[in-house]
Amino acid sequence: MQKNITASDVAKSLGMSQSTVSRVFTPGASVSEETRKKVLQAASELGYRPNALARSLITRKSNIIGIVMGDIRNPFYPDVLSKFSKELSKKGYHVLFVNAENEKLSSDEVNQFLEYNVDGAIVTDASLPSAVASYLKENQIPIVMFNRYTQDSLFHAVSCDNVDGGYQIGRYLIEKGHRKFAFISGTQNTSTSKDREKGFRNALVESGYNLITDDGDYTYEGANAAALRLLGSNHPPDAIFCANDIMALGVIDAAKKLGVRIPEDVSIVGFDDISLAEWTAYSLTTWKQPVNEMIEETINLLLNDINQKESNNKPQNKSIQGKLVERSTVCDRTKK
């Protein structure tokens, strides 16, 4: 049986201390470039692989970041997970993924963080019950909420400026000559859906227009059913804003089923700018979330808290502006 090569073996082969070898494999540790090259070459020749768990016991840092997601069926979030993993890897961190059951982070799932000694966690579309939030705070696990926030939260939050996005979409549709508006909401009581509706409604009220709403639960199926109700009514809307893109695709398919023309009979706008939105079959006009900037800000906030032994920083709620992406699902009615 081949002997397991240790950091001590590498150190002996080079005539240096074991602590020097360990620093080479510790992200952020101070070591000269010449020493780093020597250690890495010797480690490669001897077949040494650093034991991450053993290192975490010494440094009290695992270099593991937990990422919590609820609805992984929405293409927006797997893409976000991929980008987070890539950016965190560049900074020497591994990712522990947790799929929150019923889109709520439970105590059992929090215990995974404790078992793996995660340095911090990012919570995306899952909610944090108050008891769980307090538990995380008590155990000093830094948390940043991504793409949503809660009032009086114990943690930092980074999101798109959803109120502004909804408002700009409302102004855009009004300027294009639309007069009968509908909004298909996401999961009830989520900040994303409420803020997008708030901004949209504000724009309509300013110009004297009413808004009808229906619930799509942030799913293709939910929005498809809502669109069938709205477009099949006696007074169908001439513009529908959906709280995310996957719902907008459900609305487009519902309109096609009913023989409703897009955009001649009804204009449709989504929110997110997922990859499917630009497919020829949909060519969806949508509001693009500044995902890269949101991810960068989230990581900066989290690592800042991780690297401070005692952080007294107040939770920050940061919102970043997105932009409209025009494609083929909105009609300019002023030219008719």
- pLDDT tens, residue by residue, 269-310: 999 999 999 999 999 999 999 999 999 999 999 999 988 855
pLDDT at 151: 72
Give percent above pLDDT 90 in the chain.
Answer: 55
Q: 133: which 2 tokens?
A: 């939030």
SS3 73: coil
Instruction: Please count the other Cβ atoms lying within 10 Å of the Cβ belonging to residue 178.
Output: 24
Query: What pTM was estimated for this model as a whole?
Result: 0.81
Give the mean pLDDT of 239-252. Answer: 98
The continuous run of DSSP H or E covering 11 comes out as helix 7-14
- pLDDT tens, residue by residue, 196-222: 999 999 999 999 999 999 999 999 999
pLDDT at 150: 77
SS3 85: helix
- The values of phi and psi at residue 262, to 5°, are -120, 120
pLDDT at 60: 60
pLDDT at 32: 87
- pLDDT tens, residue by residue, 134-156: 777 777 889 999 998 877 778 89
Residue matched to tokens 């989520």: 190
Give the mean pLDDT of 165-191. Answer: 95
Query: Where in the sequence of the chain do the CATH 3.40.50.2300 domains occur?
Result: 64-160+291-319, 162-289+324-335
**Beta-bridge partner residues of 242:** 184
Residue 53 scores a pLDDT above 60: no
**Beta-bridge partner residues of 248:** none
- Contact 142/305 with Cβ under 8 angstroms? yes
Confidence tier at 27 by pLDDT (50, 70, 90)? low
pLDDT at 57: 47
Instruction: Please count the other Cβ atoms lying within 10 Å of the Cβ belonging to residue 323.
Output: 11
Rounded Cα distance between 41 and 22, Å, is: 14
Confirm or reject CATH 2.60.40.650 for domain 64-160+291-319, answering yes or no.
no
pLDDT at 5: 80
| Candidate CATH numbers 3.40.640.10, 1.25.40.10, 3.40.50.2300, 3.40.50.300; the one for domain 162-289+324-335 | 3.40.50.2300
Task: Specify the CATH superfamily of domain 7-59.
Answer: lambda repressor-like DNA-binding domains (1.10.260.40)
Considering just the CA atoms, what is the radius of gyration of the chain in Å?
A: 25
Mean pLDDT over each residue of the chain, to the nearest integer:
88
Confidence tier at 1 by pLDDT (50, 70, 90)? very low
Query: Where in the sequence of the chain do the CATH 1.10.260.40 domains occur?
Result: 7-59
